[in-house]
Structure 1
Amino acid sequence: MSKTTHENQQTADRNAYPLNRDVLASARLHLQHQVWISSLHYLLHPSIPLSPQPPKTQQPQPNPLQIAEIGSGTGLFTLQLASHLSTQNVQAEIYAYDLSLSQSPPQPWWPPNTTFTPLDIFDPIPLHLISKYDLLCLRHFICVIQSGNPTRLLKQLLRMLKPGGWLQWQEWDISTNCLLSAEGAVAKAPKLKAYMDLTQGVTALQEQTAWVKTFHTHPLLASSSPEAELIVHDRHWTAKEVFLLKQEIAFLGAREWSENLRGRGEVREAERIERVAREAEAECWEQGRGTVVDGEMVTWVLRKKGGE
């Protein structure tokens, strides 16, 4: 791929974030996090090794694990990870990076081993971050990779990892979206189906997110690749206990989507999305909240080659 093509993709990925950073957007992010945790029952995939440190009565190991979350949003994943590692007696320094920290907690509320720092992941990686991390975590970048090509981002992440370092990446695969009903009758939710069909019918969105379906076959992850090894490719459906949260995420996301379209001058399309989403939401409540659009949750765990 040419340098110009890479630069064009980088510009698209940086400048076209379609959602918001306000209180409703933060609430949506918290709901999304809870859906993942309640459905998968882990913050970090069990395949990722984390060694507990010696008891406090013994000499601690001098080099804590270096861990970072990319695209930290509200920081909830980072904060919970810091707490989890502390209870497991795992010594770590944790960094939360995002283009904007407007949704992040203020410094007095950070755990002592945690730092929130602005970072544009599509910029050249600062020298002090190259080969720094034992573990990187990220989630929900399908709305950030506007170019539809994750290669540049993957290369950036691999540059930040130490040889032998681990990467956990999680996305929703919207190509698997389907309508579920508590009554088992899809036809009883025509408005919600219309909303699902609307989102599925956006060609640009489908092209932008198609990589999720085949990311596990990416050339950089092939067995012959010198770059990285694919350790895990897991797919799970949402736990029914959090179907209501999935409903709320969909309708909050529709509000953000239409608002951003208005901001870009696409008023007619914004009005169409608002109308279809409003009708679907009303139908959902009228039917006792017994319908939901669900899709597969995908987890990839990679390991950078070159370690022992």
Structure 2
Amino acid sequence: MPSENDYVLARDYLDNSRLNLYHYHWIDVFGYRTHPKIPIDGSDLRIADVGTGTGVWLTDLGARLPSSVQLDALDVSFHALPPKEWLPQNVTVRHWDVKGDVLDDLVGVYDVVNMRNFVFVIKNDEIKHVLANLLKILKPGGYLQWGESDIHDWRIDKIHPDNKTDAHKRLMEMTLGQDLRLQATWVGEMTQLFSEAGFEDVEMDFRKPEPHLAFAMHQCQLIIHEIIPRQTRNESVRNEVERLLPEVHKETVAGACFAITRRTVIGRKPKV
């Protein structure tokens, strides 16, 4: 079992609240929990949420499905998840590291597998192995849905060319330089990677949020920068982030925000 420290952020109430809020912003942007081309009309489906975190995607979707659908929360840590006693009865909690080996009893069992927000977890040299694992746990004809923020399209939007963005730029530079997991390039290559892994009917849906949603998501994501000072052992980085955040807030209120393209990619495992 991998170390829980493999996660670059935190698993505390601040980070968990960010993830829960971000989920609903994501639904606002895309308009669905599962892509319209993924069939979820059966009563005997088995669905997995890999890297489930707070479990918000799984429980939100489950509330719209028959209680006979089996929902599996897969992760290396469940510190962000509610106690099992407070989860719906059809939710099963299971330790599994998507970067490790596929457990025998997970081979070929899922109709749908969901993943989201792994850009901070998976490095470029790990993505092909991860996709091979995900293909293995799907039933023939089953679907993988994977949503990510494309950090290589991380930009600063502003309402007027003269708006100050110096603090935003400095914070962006510092964030991307802190960890190799924040420099992954595989998000923009996901359709090709899906096809190379053996998925069929691969399709990418990418969205640039409307300005009011981009602004809301920007404020939600700033919580990450509240977390960084508590996580880093680099005192100079901690002090600089703490100095920058009030300036970023001023620039935000004046009409500047981080904006990122979001991508959802789906692919189907061949039926034979």
TM-score (structure 2 length as normaliser)? 0.89
Judge conservation of contact 1:38–1:239 (CA < 8 Å) in 2: no
Aligned to 1:189: 165
Q: Equivalent residue of 1:84, what SS?
A: coil
* Distance in 2 (alpha carbons) for counterparts of 1:24 and 1:203: 21
Letter matched to residue 186 of structure 2:
W
Residues 172 and 241 (structure 1), Cα distance of their counterparts in 2 relative to 1, 3 Å cut: same
Does residue 72 in structure 1 map to residue 52 in structure 2? yes
Judge conservation of contact 1:101–1:117 (CA < 8 Å) in 2: no
Q: Equivalent residue of 1:279, what SS?
A: helix
Judge conservation of contact 1:96–1:116 (CA < 8 Å) in 2: yes
Does residue 97 in structure 1 map to residue 97 in structure 2? no
Judge conservation of contact 1:180–1:293 (CA < 8 Å) in 2: yes
Deviation at 1:106, TM superposition (A): 1.7
Matching residue within 260, 268, 271 for 1:303: 268
Aligned to 1:151: 128
Q: Equivalent residue of 2:15, what SS?
A: helix
Deviation at 1:299, TM superposition (A): 0.6
Q: Equivalent residue of 2:88, what SS?
A: coil
Aligned to 1:26: 16
Identical counterparts, % of pairs: 28
Judge conservation of contact 2:140–2:269 (CA < 8 Å) in 1: yes
TM-score (structure 1 length as normaliser)? 0.80
Letter matched to residue 160 of structure 1:
I
Matching residue within 234, 246, 257 for 1:292: 257
Does residue 124 in structure 1 map to residue 73 in structure 2? no
Q: Equivalent residue of 1:122, what SS?
A: coil
Q: Equivalent residue of 2:152, what SS?
A: strand
Deviation at 1:170, TM superposition (A): 0.4
Q: Equivalent residue of 1:235, what SS?
A: strand
Judge conservation of contact 1:69–1:96 (CA < 8 Å) in 2: yes
CA-based RMSD of the aligned residues comes to 2.5
Residues 107 and 149 (structure 1), Cα distance of their counterparts in 2 relative to 1, 3 Å cut: closer
Matching residue within 149, 153, 172 for 1:172: 149
In structure 1, runs of 5+ residues without a counterpart are: 1-9, 54-63
* Distance in 2 (alpha carbons) for counterparts of 1:295 and 1:33: 15
**CA deviation map 1:62-120 (0-9, x unaligned):** xx11110001111111111101123xxx8521111111111111223222222222222
Matching residue within 242, 245, 256 for 1:274: 242
Q: Equivalent residue of 2:154, what SS?
A: strand
Aligned to 1:250: 221
User: Which range is displaced more, 112-121 or 18-27?
Assistant: 112-121
Please identify the structure whose Cα radius of gyration is greater.
1
Q: Equivalent residue of 1:292, what SS?
A: strand
Does residue 231 in structure 1 map to residue 221 in structure 2? no
**CA deviation map 1:199-224 (0-9, x unaligned):** 45668356x32111112122x514xx
